[in-house]
Amino acid sequence: MDNIKATFQAVIFDLDGTLLNTLEDIADAVDRMLSEFGFSGHTLDDYRRFIGNGIKLLVTRALPAEGRAEELVDACVKRARDLYWEHWNRKTHPYKGIRKLLHDLEDRNIPKAVLSNKPHDFTARYINAYFPDITFEAVMGQSDLFPIKPDPAAALEIARRIGIPPSNFVFVGDSVVDVRTALSAGMYAVGVAWGFKGVEGLAEAGCQTVAKQPSEILNLFSSLSA
């Protein structure tokens, strides 16, 4: 990673493709919905492209052009959501090194938060299930309270709640959406090489650092005593 001289005090994580590999469970739910509505499914690589801008856009991207009438999209979103709720944790797992990173950050008393474009109830469910022993000062998914990323409003609200200036936050995510959110909020944008999207496009979007493994994120806080 780059030689960083700034002192960071807190971190916001994206969820899907950053903390958890949820790709197969998402793909399975949407593919099952598509089959029920008489449409063809997609590959995992297709879903890597579809994911990142909320469930409605995910489903819209998965539907063929002739299936994108508003009422049909709404029905498909509801069915995909119901199927995903039933089968949300069949194949999902934390990425290697993530749990250790979170525990190391906890040991250093570094405030942590999660900001996802996944619906809030799913986001909270995943965090409670996979990281029950980790303290997050805020966990926020998509809701009516704030616009989804890359709008910075929710990230700025997290900073306000924690009481640390946005410029002292590291924002970690796997997509261009996350990079744009970080920069719009005045936070330090860290991309991850292990996520859904790959590193292509991150630098062009303005990503300031790309972590090849979770332990590299801890190095940004190395100036803080353990």
Look at the block and give the residue holding tokens 């920069």: 183
Cα gap 182→110, rounded to integer Å: 18
14 given a catalytic annotation: yes
The 3-state DSSP class for residue 176 equals helix
Q: Which of 14, 25, 31, 174 is labelled catalytic? A: 14
> In sequence order, what are the residues at sequence separation of 6 or more whose Cβ sits closer than 8 angstroms to the Cβ of residue 127?
15, 114, 134, 136, 139
For 34-52, the DSSP string reads HHHTT-----HHHHHHHTT
Token pair for 125: 């469910």
Q: Which residues are catalytic?
A: 14
